[in-house]
Amino acid sequence: MANQEKPLKVGIVGCGVIAETHLGYIRKAGAQLVGVVDLSAARANEFADKYGIQRAYTSVESLLEVERPDAVHILTPPHTHADAAVAALERGVHTLVEKPLATEMVDVERMRKAAAAGGAILTVDHNRLFDPPMLEARRVFAEGELGDIVAVESFQAGEASRRAWLSRLPGGGLGDLIPHPLYLQLAFTGPVGALEAYALERRGSNEPEELRVMMRGEHCTGSLTISMNASPPLNTLKLYGTKMTVEVNLNNMTIVKRREFNLPKVVAKPMPNLDESRQLISQTVTSTLNFLTGKVRYYPGMGELIRRFYAAIRGEGEAPVSVVDAAEVVRVTTAIWERIGAANGKRPVRAVG
């Protein structure tokens, strides 16, 4: 059995806010955390204090050379992912990178080559793909229950995080918010052939807070909306198929399927409403119970993704997210910033209508 093998030796690179969540899932997966890295020794030490971690380093190379981990989680600011990941991949160390994989395609290419040279798995934390309702949506799509897919819509309302490195991120606040809705969408549209993007600033800032992207994918069309003003926060994904419409709500962790009922008209009319209510109520009860009993934690998709990443390292299954899919997200993001005038790493200073 896999559990009886020697535990995987894992390192964390970057002791910022998301490191704690990774740490919880690393330990839950039965891996051994051999060390953490942060450019700031004080931050690495404080993280170590808090979680009883023994070894802390200020350089990735030191961690890699001294601890010889099997895998690392790169949790540094996005523009620094590539250097850290390449150092690990070249040494044959399997690498999970926080989203987005990179901010520029040249960096993606460097990582891809290093992974090939080192014979190591490279994957990215597109965690929401593995949240329970998303797994169900992907199953419905893959197994044809949806019929043919016609269109996909993703919507994300919320504030951008206030990270110190946001000013280094192409797209600024939008750049922070775009990865989740975009990779969710691309999982259904397939590779994007053409896109149009519109951005708008509303609050007198010189940075767009509203973004809408229309795209033509290999399988269907897609539309993506990000709003920093709409409230309350909401993350949804809608799939339109020829047999069914699916709405995933990632705030509430629900999936509602709307299908046709072959019944006399007087009964068929209220049926979809009743059916949707039933789905919402039963899933709300189940997910509340799961959360209260500790069966599900925050970021459940991350736990599943990490489990699959480690399984892939042991030769059981594929990497949870392929480099091709991860690269497509970076490529489309870059194309969107070009569309709205935020190319070359500059933030979009002017909305293009």
Partner 1 sequence: MRAFVTGGSGFLGRYIVKRLLDRGDDVTVLARQSSDTAALEAAGVKIVRGDLASLDSLGDFLDGQDVVYHAGARVVSYGDWQEFHDANVAATQKLIDMALKVGVRRFVYVSSLGIFDIPEAGVTITENSDYDHQPTLRGHYTRSKIHADRIACEAARSGKPVVVVRPGRIYGHDHPSLPLFMGRVKKKLFGNTWVVVSRPGYFVPIAFVENAADAVVRAGIKEGADGKIFNVIDDSDLTQKEYFAALDRVEKRHGRGLRILYLPVGLFIPAVIAAAWAFRILKRRKWAVAHQLRRSGRNAFYSTDAVRSELGWEPQVGLEDAVELTLAGVR
Give the nearest distance from C-beta 93 to partner 1 in angstroms: 16
Rounded to the nearest angstrom, the gap between the alpha carbon of residue 266 and the centroid of all alpha carbons in its chain is: 43
Q: Which is nearer to partner 1, 44 or 226 (CB)?
A: 44
27 is an interface residue for partner 1 by CB under 8 A: no
Tell me whether strands 94-97 and 71-74 are parallel, antiparallel or unpaired: parallel
Among 2, 27, 28, 41, binds partner 1 (CB under 8 A): 41
Give the nearest distance from C-beta 5 to partner 1 in angstroms: 23
Sign of CA dihedral 142, 144, 150, 154: negative
- The SS3 call for residue 40 is coil
Q: Which is nearer to partner 1, 49 or 109 (CB)?
A: 49
Segment interacting with partner 1, rule: CB under 8 A, options 39-47, 125-133, 162-170, 334-342: 39-47
Give the nearest distance from C-beta 67 to partner 1 in angstroms: 9
Peptide bond connecting 179 to the previous residue in cis, omega within 30 degrees of 0: no
Beta bridge pairs of residue 257: 246
Using CB under 8 A as the binding rule, the residues of this chain from 91 to 130 that contact partner 1 are none
Tell me whether strands 94-97 and 122-124 are parallel, antiparallel or unpaired: parallel
E strands within the chain?
Answer: 9-13, 32-37, 56-57, 71-74, 94-97, 122-124, 149-157, 192-200, 210-217, 221-227, 234-241, 244-249, 254-259
- The closest of 230, 222, 226 to 196, measured between CA atoms, is 222
**What's the DSSP call for residue 29?**
T
Query: Distance between CA atoms of 310 and 69, rounded to whole angstroms?
Result: 13
Beta bridge pairs of residue 201: none
Q: Which is nearer to partner 1, 64 or 305 (CB)?
A: 64
Give the nearest distance from C-beta 72 to partner 1 in angstroms: 16
Give the nearest distance from C-beta 59 to partner 1 in angstroms: 8
246 is an interface residue for partner 1 by CB under 8 A: no
Give the nearest distance from C-beta 91 to partner 1 in angstroms: 14
Binding mask 43-82 for partner 1 (x = CB under 8 A): -xx--xxx-x-xxxxxx-xx--xx----------------
Q: Which is nearer to partner 1, 44 or 157 (CB)?
A: 44
Give the nearest distance from C-beta 283 to partner 1 in angstroms: 36
Query: Distance between CA atoms of 250 and 128, rounded to whole angstroms?
Result: 8
| Count of residues that bind partner 1 according to CB under 8 A | 18
List residues near partner 1 by CB under 8 A.
41-42, 44-45, 48-50, 52, 54-59, 61-62, 65-66
